[in-house]
Amino acid sequence: MQEYVLRTHQLTKQYGKQVALDHADMTVRKGAIYGFIGQNGAGKSTLMKLVTGLAFPTSGSVELFGAASGPELVQARRRMGVSIESPALYPQLTAAENLEAHRLQQGIPGRESVRRTLELVGLSGTGRKKARAFSLGMKQRLALGVALLGQPELLVLDEPTNGLDPMGVVEMRELLTRLNRENGITILISSHILSELHLLATHYGIIHQGRLLEQLTSRELQKRCRQFIHIKVNLPERAAVVLERELATREFEVAADGSIRLYAHLDRPAAVASALVAGGLELEQLMPMGEDLESYFASRIGGGVHA
Ligand SMILES: Nc1ncnc2c1ncn2[C@@H]1O[C@H](COP(=O)(O)OP(=O)(O)OP(=O)(O)O)[C@@H](O)[C@H]1O
């Protein structure tokens, strides 16, 4: 049986006439890293605020750890760590002092949670350095530390890679992967750049203009974004034999209409064409196809990405 950490049911939020979130059904499974993708203003923060209780839905509901309302939902929210929008960091305090201040505010018992969290986010060595002197990457990790203080089972992170340089993105990815694999924390993370969540997310949700358009696994996404050579010949079965014998590959699929998707020799379409023709086949079509991540995202939301 699938265990869901978070489900939203027809979740809707309207600000006046503006529909920020439109009947969203999101499902996040236990153990997942759910990448929530959408352009600026798509509704990502709105959904996260509704989930974390920072805003109230116009209609629909949030189910967290199986709890959908009342004191159970309030209790379930205690199992969640949150970092939404600019984190409340104190610039004049060190990393440890910042965490201690948040520990007291959140009423989390035990000072050792500060030391443990500093280690988790790789800030143990920052000593007396004040947060104002931190790099953006360090600030983001400290904000993540604040969310981790209460040892949450679910982390909700709004654009934690926003503004980071490529190295910072890699560091954040490694840190989140470790928290997921070693500490078993389920993560809901948003971004407006799909490729930033690539290699991190196990599941994706694509949101556009308040509507959750699609949810898919990273495997499904990879399959959809896979590059291939599209081939159409008069005798597909014979083409399959030629590909195996002459080009030594079985990395192809023959579709019901007889067209072939060849996933190998992508940089050698001319050699593929020659082999097929030399094998006595009539070549009707042969062209490289497939989408990269960003163009897939753009095609799903119908148009260019102007994030
Ligand atoms: N408090 C508010 N009052 C009025 N409109 C709001 C409010 N919060 C959000 N909106 C509107 O709701 C829509 C969704 O905003 P939201 O912040 O959820 O988007 P987002 O995907 O998180 O984008 P961003 O990455 O820019 O934060 C936007 O059109 C925004 O202008």
Does the Cβ of 203 fall within 6 Å of ligand 1?
Answer: no
302 assigned to some structural domain: no
CB 262 within 8 A of CB 286: no
Q: Would the ipTM clear 0.85, i.e. be above it?
A: yes
Phi, psi of 159 (to 5 degrees): 50, 55
Give the per-residue pLDDT at 87: 65
Same domain, 101 and 190: yes
| Domain span including residue 253 | 227-289
CB 73 within 8 A of CB 62: yes
- What does pTM read for this prediction? 0.83
Phi, psi of 197 (to 5 degrees): -95, -10
Same domain, 181 and 212: yes
CATH number of the domain bearing residue 161:
3.40.50.300
59 assigned to some structural domain: yes
- Of all atoms in ligand 1, which is nearest to the CA of residue 159? 25
Residue that has been written with the tokens 């280690």 in this structure: 119
Residue 252's CB is within 10 A of a number of other CB atoms, namely 19
Query: Closest Cα to atom 6, ligand 1: which residue?
Result: 15
The pLDDT tens digits of the residues spanning 45-87 come to: 999 999 999 999 999 999 999 999 889 999 999 999 999 976 6
The pLDDT tens digits of the residues spanning 253-265 come to: 999 999 999 999 9
Does the Cβ of 46 fall within 6 Å of ligand 1?
Answer: yes
78 Rama sector, left if φ>0, alpha if ψ -120 to 50, beta otherwise: alpha
Residue by residue, what is the 3-state secondary structure of 188-241?
A: EEEECCHHHHCCCCCEEEEEECCEEEEEEEHHHHHHHCCCEEEEEECCHHHHHH
The pLDDT tens digits of the residues spanning 214-246 come to: 999 999 988 888 889 999 999 999 999 999 999
- Of all atoms in ligand 1, which is nearest to the CA of residue 158? 22
Give the per-residue pLDDT at 307: 37
Alpha-helical segments (H) within the chain: 44-52, 70-77, 95-106, 112-120, 136-148, 166-183, 194-197, 218-224, 236-246, 269-278, 293-301
If one counts the domains in the chain, the total is: 2
